[in-house]
Amino acid sequence: MNDADLDTTETLEQGPTRGNRLYPRVTSFRSRRGALTLPQQESWDRCWPELGRDVGDDRLDMDAWFGRSAPVVLEIGSGTGTAAVTMARAEPHVNLVAVEVYKPGIAQTLQQIERTYDTDTPIRNLRILRGDAVEVLEHMVAPESLTGVRVFFPDPWPKARHHKRRLLQPPTFALIASRLQPGGVLHVATDHAEYAEAIAEAGNAEPLLTSLDWESPISHERPVTKFEDKAQRVGSSITELVWGKIRA
């Protein structure tokens, strides 16, 4: 996201009206217009009914959606899906849910999934939720139901006046921790040094999270995304943070 865009529109994001609830609040993303290309739209039309859902108020029945019972891992802010697609392939035993607000990014993810259908290893274990991950966690995900949560390169909102928009703050840590099963894992990666410190502080202060001193139930192997590649080329170092949900 281009920081210059933000200066012209420093407002509270007006959330959508759902039912009779209206919830204006600061969100970790800005609405971005994004038209789909024709191939993206065609892929969307073919895949979305099976693979995607819009955020809603109802609890998701993950087993029914995936057509099987398996450990569920949620990736927040999956962008164009590079990590989600690679990791879904590497972890066929996991039901992976990618959450993203940016429609063209989701469309690119669908295209990548579709491309695997002609291969020997079609991806069948990845689903996509379109909307705010905070709402997803609050309304759609049952407490203590997730084996893992991944947040790779959350928008750093580097200006002090935008810090309130950061996704990874104490209330989000509490929410994520409440949705993790005991022994489940939260894996975060960021290229922003100051945000990394703030994330570490908030994560370490969350009473339901602890350092992981047992074998992780999820893989920590990430592919390098285009976003990360760009960060590395300008010399940013990457910080990886991992916590486990307390087991007793």
Ligand X SMILES: C[S@@+](CC[C@H](N)C(=O)[O-])C[C@H]1O[C@@H](n2cnc3c(N)ncnc32)[C@H](O)[C@@H]1O
Binding residues for substrate, as ranges, are 159, 191, 225-228
Asked if 168 contacts 202 with a C-beta cutoff of 8 angstroms, the reply is yes
Q: Give the nearest distance from C-beta 157 to ligand X in angstroms.
A: 10
Q: Is 45 assigned a catalytic role?
A: no
Catalytic residue among 57, 118, 155, 229: 155
Read off the tokens for 116: 């695997």
Instruction: Write out the binding residues.
Output: 75, 100, 132, 155, 159, 191, 225-228
Q: Are strands 239-245 and 180-190 parallel, antiparallel or unpaired?
A: antiparallel
Q: How many CB atoms lie within 10 A of CB 168?
A: 23
Cα dist from 92 to 35, 50, 96, 98, 107, whole Å:
32, 18, 9, 15, 22
Size of the site for ligand X (CB under 6 A): 23
Asked if 191 is part of the footprint of ligand X (rule: CB under 6 A), the reply reads: no
Under rule CB under 6 A, which residues in 43-102 are in contact with ligand X?
76-79, 99-102
| Cα–Cα distance for residue pair 200/216, rounded to 1 Å | 19
Binding string, residues 120-149; x marks residues near ligand X by CB under 6 A: ------------xxx---------------
**154 vs 184, beta carbon nearer ligand X:** 154
Q: Give the nearest distance from C-beta 92 to ligand X in angstroms.
A: 21
Binding string, residues 150-179; x marks residues near ligand X by CB under 6 A: --xxxx-----------x------------
**104 vs 183, beta carbon nearer ligand X:** 104
| Cα–Cα distance for residue pair 85/207, rounded to 1 Å | 32
Q: Give the nearest distance from C-beta 197 to ligand X in angstroms.
A: 18
Asked if 29 is part of the footprint of ligand X (rule: CB under 6 A), the reply reads: yes
Q: Give the nearest distance from C-beta 23 to ligand X in angstroms.
A: 13
| Cα–Cα distance for residue pair 104/37, rounded to 1 Å | 8
φ, ψ of residue 3 in degrees (nearest 5): -60, -30
Q: Give the nearest distance from C-beta 55 to ligand X in angstroms.
A: 9
Read off the tokens for 207: 């009473």
**52 vs 154, beta carbon nearer ligand X:** 154
CB burial readout 50-81, b (16+ within 10 A) else e: ebbbebeeeebebeebbeeebbbbbbbbbbbb
The neighbouring-strand residues paired with 186 are: 149, 243
Q: How many CB atoms lie within 10 A of CB 37?
A: 12
Instruction: Write out the binding residues for S-adenosyl-L-methionine.
Output: 75, 100, 132, 155
**211 vs 237, beta carbon nearer ligand X:** 237
Residues acting as catalytic residues: 155
Query: Which residues sit at the interface with ligand X, rule CB under 6 A?
Result: 27-29, 76-79, 99-102, 105, 132-134, 152-155, 167, 225, 227-228
